[in-house]
Structure 1
Amino acid sequence: MTQHAEATAAPDPIAYLDAAAGTAVGLDYKRRFLAALDLSPGHAVVDIGCGPGTDLGRLADAVGETGAVIGVDREPRMVAEAGRRHAERPNVELRAGDVHTLPLADACVDRARTDRVLQHVDDPAVAITQVRRVLRPGGVFGMAEPDWDSLVVAEEDAETSRRFSRFVAGRVRNATVGREVARLCTEAGFEIRSVEALPVVFRDFATADQILGLRRNSARAVEAGVVAEADAAGWLQRLRTGPFLAGFTFYLVTVRA
């Protein structure tokens, strides 16, 4: 692999998801998210876009031996890894499937969740309608989604920071879905239970680079002609060595069927 290819290469998806979940920010919002679902022993819950099974264990603990956890993901590698990690949990089941056509019967689960999934799907409205279909009356659906249009990186070269933020937002299919899910859920017939706007703040370059891909995405922005190479180099050097601050808004929304 060339040096340029290394600079712009995407991280391994499983390693990235594990790393993000292990940050202070990840641990905090996942704790809030789990509490917002209001799980009880005996509940059936589906984790849509479960990835490598990061959250399946906590869900399984919350619903207990009498409950059921279904992890759904469209990527065979994710389903296989989640199955490997939770092979000894009898109340966890993995299914391959897409959020637009969930492999679940009507009104079969008490709880559903998506975690940073709707930002990537082809049609969030269709996905939300599918969740409405599989939830039992009174069931709760929780969504955790970023608003990439709110991304800011504090730096003296404000124009390069703006260009970087816009470039990152432009690479996400549904960059503003975090602010839109409450409206989409209302249109799908859900009742809004809660909407939280959580500030995600990074104070060190290494963690922000891991999650936001500062080096990777600035190299891509240079390649796309969005940022001049010299501007990107100086911007990154100052970010590495100076006081660091970056952040965006994360929305945690729960609704009732």
Structure 2
Amino acid sequence: MTSSAFETARPDSVTYLDRIAATDLGRSYKARMLDELGLQTGHTVLDLGCGPGTDLRALAEAVTPAGSVIGVDHDPAMVDAARARTAGLPVVDVRPGDIHDLALPGHFADRARTDRVLQHVADPRAALAEIRRVLRPGGRLVMGEPDWETLAVDHPDGELTRAYTRHVAERVVRNAAIGRQLARLATDAGFTVPEVVPVTPVFRDVQAADRILGLERTTRRAVAAGYFTDEAAESWLGHLTRGPFLATVTFYVVVAEA
């Protein structure tokens, strides 16, 4: 089931997040999110689920030394990495915290962002309500999330593709359809939603796709979970390596205003 086209060892979380940020897709959608935030000199901006601090420098440059940037993450390793990367930026404060229960006063921040965070949280509704609480009236939240139920990988046997996507949506990602749900959930939390921007990357190279999707590792998990037989997995992966290869998934950038 293993081919030299695929990674067999899972990268650590920091490496994986850095890898996505360095892709054309990562640079493109992050730039769009930054633009949609509309940051100004003196703003206070929250990066909720900041990871290893990938975006904190860009936020700091946008608000200038007159503003402030607060990065929050629940993972101590991410907090340590983000602090190390922003040690020379006095405008940035990185804190451990829970997006469902932020240790911040109400109406505190001008802007907030979440980048591929809500797909993993225990309660997206509670998280959105908490973000709404800490944003000032007129504040803005910009969210970026994939909709994993839209994942499509071309294969002559469509049933294998559907089995793979079902496994990702049902077993791999906690809130797999969050991308399409963001506008509704944000509205329910008291936001208005002026803009929803779909971004659909197209992967034509199997190795590039594997570095994001973990195709072989995910297929092995699908076999263990009963979505594929060993024989079906061999057929699935074999065709992907022989090509031509094509995969897509829709990513949503959603702007919400308090």
TM range (shorter): over 0.9
Instruction: Report what 1:27 is aligned to.
Output: 27
Q: TM-score of the superposition, structure 1-length normalised?
A: 0.95
How many Å separate the matches in 1 of 2:203 and 2:8? 22
Give the superposition deviation at 1:241. Answer: 2.2
Asked if the contact 1:8/1:220 (under 8 Å) is kept, the reply is: no
Give the superposition deviation at 1:208. Answer: 0.9
Give the superposition deviation at 1:8. Answer: 6.9
Instruction: Report what 2:72 is aligned to.
Output: 72
Asked if the contact 1:8/1:219 (under 8 Å) is kept, the reply is: no
Give the superposition deviation at 1:189. Answer: 1.1
Letter in 2 for 1:132: R
Letter in 1 for 2:130: Q
Q: Note the alpha carbon deviations across 1:152-209, whole angstroms, 9 max, x for none.
A: 1001121111111110111211111111111111111111121111112211101111
The number of residues matched between the two structures is 253
How many Å separate the matches in 2 of 1:33 and 1:243? 32
How many Å separate the matches in 1 of 2:8 and 2:207? 17
Give the superposition deviation at 1:237. Answer: 2.0
How many Å separate the matches in 2 of 1:242 and 1:188? 45
| CA shift in 2, pair 1:8/1:122, >3 Å | farther
| Residue 194 (structure 2) pairs with residue 205 (structure 1) | no
How many Å separate the matches in 1 of 2:110 and 2:103? 16
Equivalent position SS for 1:53: coil
Asked if the contact 1:41/1:63 (under 8 Å) is kept, the reply is: yes
How many Å separate the matches in 1 of 2:239 and 2:93? 47
Runs of 4+ in 1 over 6 A off after TM superposition: none
How many Å separate the matches in 2 of 1:8 and 1:159? 24
Letter in 1 for 2:222: A
Instruction: Report what 1:230 is aligned to.
Output: 231
Give the superposition deviation at 1:226. Answer: 1.1
How many Å separate the matches in 2 of 1:8 and 1:228? 19
Instruction: Report what 1:182 is aligned to.
Output: 183
Long gaps (5+) in structure 2:
none
RMSD after superposition = 1.5
How many Å separate the matches in 1 of 2:166 and 2:130? 31
Asked if the contact 1:202/1:247 (under 8 Å) is kept, the reply is: yes
How many Å separate the matches in 2 of 1:190 and 1:206? 40
Instruction: Report what 2:219 is aligned to.
Output: 218
How many Å separate the matches in 1 of 2:192 and 2:182? 12
Counting aligned pairs with the same residue, the percent is 52
Instruction: Report what 2:131 is aligned to.
Output: 131
Equivalent position SS for 1:110: strand
How many Å separate the matches in 1 of 2:65 and 2:194? 27
Note the 1:77-96 alignment, pairs <5 A: 77-96=77-96
Letter in 1 for 2:173: V
Equivalent position SS for 1:184: helix
How many Å separate the matches in 2 of 1:187 and 1:154? 36
Q: TM-score of the superposition, structure 2-length normalised?
A: 0.95
Instruction: Report what 1:141 is aligned to.
Output: 141
